[in-house]
Amino acid sequence: MSVSIVQKYNVPGPRYTSYPTVPYWEEENFHLEDWKRTLLQSFKESNAAEGISLYIHLPFCESLCTFCGCNKRITKRHEVEDPYITAIIKEWKLYCELFPTQPIIKEIHLGGGTPTFFSPENLERLINGIFDYATKAPEHEFSFEGHPNNTTKQHLQKLYNIGFRRVSFGVQDYSPHVQEAIHRVQPFHNVAKVTFWAKEIGYTSIGHDLIFGLPFQNLHDVQDTIDKTKSLFPDRLAFYSYAHVPWIKGNGQRGFNDEDLPKDDEKRELYEEGKKQLAKNGYHEIGMDHFALENDSMYTSFKEEKLHRNFMGYTASKTQLMIGLGVSSISDSWYSFAQNEKTIEDYYARLADNQLPVFKGHLLTSEDLIIRKHILNLMCQFSTSWKDKSLDFPELRSVLESLKEMEDDGLLTIQNESITVTEKGKPFVRNICMAFDLRLIKKAPETKLFSMTI
């Protein structure tokens, strides 16, 4: 890959887990009643046909990982578990009181923070509390994120017994000097142990999350991490680009300097080497930064053009309605987005007043909905089309004009009322999506908002 191409397109840009992206939400035009209205509209349109999704944010961690930009609360006090689970169940009950019929849950994902900070018994209480007011869809997919250092066999067995079949373990990198820099020291033995436990218990999809571009990381580190990973043969892999966003309030990105990070073409070389090694071992590239074996549901979904992307990342199945429970969680009714209070104290205070703990959101316009579909298509299938005239829009011609340079650089092809991302262009899919992002184009950010795209 040409160095000039990497440098040319390595600019700040969104990861497009939504459109519009959160910094471009029109908060002033949003009210809680709007969220409730679109929530009910989406529920009535989709609950019986496909079910709904739940994302549950569990924010507590015992120690701070300095690569992490997530919403978290660092504590070793496990007495925080019980009131937090009680609050989530109350939030869910408030939602269920709005619904005309009992919700059917197709998908649950426990994210964090560290979900396995919570005891197996408390996680069981959480899920049983959810199903006091809901039923499981016949083809449900329940997943959680496990920390290799504190996930026990009891965690895996208890969650398996209540319907969980997918688990992802945060690995990042196996090199001691990288682990020390990011304050995430976990030996290979710990990852191997939890992976084999999950296989033994019967989990059908085991994932490992890796990151390239970490401080002090070099080509040998990536090769060694991939070698160790393939020996455990997880069903799917996330191979994320490290998002360096130290300006975001409350994130843990410290303990190293900017000059300690691989830059531009050096960072891209880490990805290309990892991608090459994964391909040799039967992993197929799925969307952006994700890889899967052919037996995994994500590969099947990608081949059948059913892959979906939302605030949980890539999912193998789409639901129109996704409700986020817990502090800072984001919900999506398709017609609007809503985000919960960002601090635990404010989250608890709203629930104490018997209110949904939503503090901001965005009502999607008709133009937003069209752009969103194009960006979803590009992120999930590496192509999009406007042969269906409902996906045409007034600014499309100027978007296509702006993509001409990328076409000349071999990153995509434009033909027959469609765009297809080339193999060379896949690492630049965020840049391609940015050409459709009319809100970003009309109002370029005046401060740092996004991580670099490459």
Asked if 313 and 332 touch (Cβ cutoff 8 Å), the reply is no
What are 325-344's pLDDT values in tens digits? Answer: 999 999 999 999 999 999 99
- Predicted pLDDT at 330: 97
Cα separation, 37 vs 285, in Å, equals 38
Answer left, alpha or beta for residue 264, where phi above 0 means left and psi between -120 and 50 means alpha.
Answer: left
Token couple for 234 = 């997880």
Question: Percentage of the chain with pLDDT > 90?
Answer: 81
What is the predicted pLDDT for the residue at 446?
A: 63
pLDDT interval class at 43 (50, 70, 90): very high
| Length of the chain (residues) | 454
pLDDT score of 306 more than 50? yes
Q: What is the pLDDT of residue 256?
A: 77
Place of tokens 């919403």: 71
- What pLDDT, on the 0 to 100 scale, is given for residue 255? 63
- Across 46-51, average pLDDT: 94
pLDDT in tens, 157-200: 999 999 999 999 999 999 999 999 999 999 999 999 999 999 99
**330: exposed, middle or buried (C-beta count within 10 Å: 0-12, 13-18, 19+)?**
buried
What is the average per-residue pLDDT within 281-301? 93
d(CA 302, CA 7): 30
Structural element, H or E, at residue 423: none
pTM of the model: 0.93
pLDDT at residue 385 in the model: 97
Residue range 371-382: mean pLDDT, rounded = 96
* Neighbouring C-beta atoms of residue 121, cutoff 10 Å: 11
Distance (Å, whole) CA 133 – CA 103 = 8
**What's the average model confidence in pLDDT over 83-98?**
98
- CB distance 64 to 346 below 8 Å: no
Is the four-CA dihedral 242, 244, 245, 251 of positive or negative sign? Answer: positive
Q: Is the pLDDT of residue 378 over 80?
A: yes
CA distance linking residue 172 with residue 211, whole number of Å: 5
Q: Are 3 and 264 in contact (CB under 8 A)?
A: yes
pLDDT of amino acid 167: 98
Average pLDDT over residues 44-62: 95
Residue-averaged pLDDT of the chain: 92
**Cα 347 to Cα 342: distance, rounded to the nearest angstrom:** 7
Local confidence band at 443 (pLDDT 50, 70, 90 cut-offs):
confident
Residue 362 phi, psi dihedral angles, 5° rounding: -155, 130
Average pLDDT value for residue range 264-270: 87
Residue type, position 63, single letter = S
Lowest-confidence segment of 43-47, 138-142, 274-278, 440-444 by average pLDDT: 440-444
pLDDT tens digits for range 224-261: 999 999 999 999 999 998 877 664 555 555 667 788 89
Q: Is 312 helix (H, G, I), strand (E, B) or coil?
A: coil
Q: Which amino acid is at 80?
A: V
Q: Which long-range contacts (CB under 8 A, 24 or more apart) does 438-442 make?
A: 438/367, 438/371, 438/395, 439/20, 439/21, 439/24, 440/14, 440/21, 440/24
Mean pLDDT confidence for 359-373: 97
User: Rounded mean pLDDT of 290-319?
Assistant: 91
Residue 35 host element (H or E): helix 32-50
In this structure, the number of other CB atoms found within 10 A of the CB of residue 116 comes to: 26
Answer whether residue 87 shows pLDDT above 60. Answer: yes
Residue 2's pLDDT band (cuts 50, 70, 90): very low
Q: Is 434 exposed, middle or buried (0-12, 13-18, 19+ CB in 10 A)?
A: buried
- Quickly state the pLDDT bin for 12 (edges 50, 70, 90): confident
What pLDDT is stored for residue 447 in this prediction?
Answer: 62
Q: Are 193 and 222 in contact (CB under 8 A)?
A: no
Stronger pLDDT, 11 or 25, i.e. the higher one: 25
The Cα-based distances of 194 to 4, 154, 222, 298, 399 in angstroms read 42, 11, 21, 21, 47
By mean pLDDT, which of 51-60, 63-72, 201-210, 432-441 is the weakest? 63-72
Task: Tell whether the torsion through CA atoms of 308, 314, 317 and 320 is positive or negative.
Answer: negative
- Work out the pLDDT band at 1, boundaries 50, 70, 90: very low
- The mean pLDDT value for 301-318 works out to 89
Classify each residue of 272-307 as buried b or exposed e, where b means 16 or more C-beta atoms within 10 Å of its C-beta: ebbbebbeeeebbbbbbbbbbbeebbbbebbeeeeb
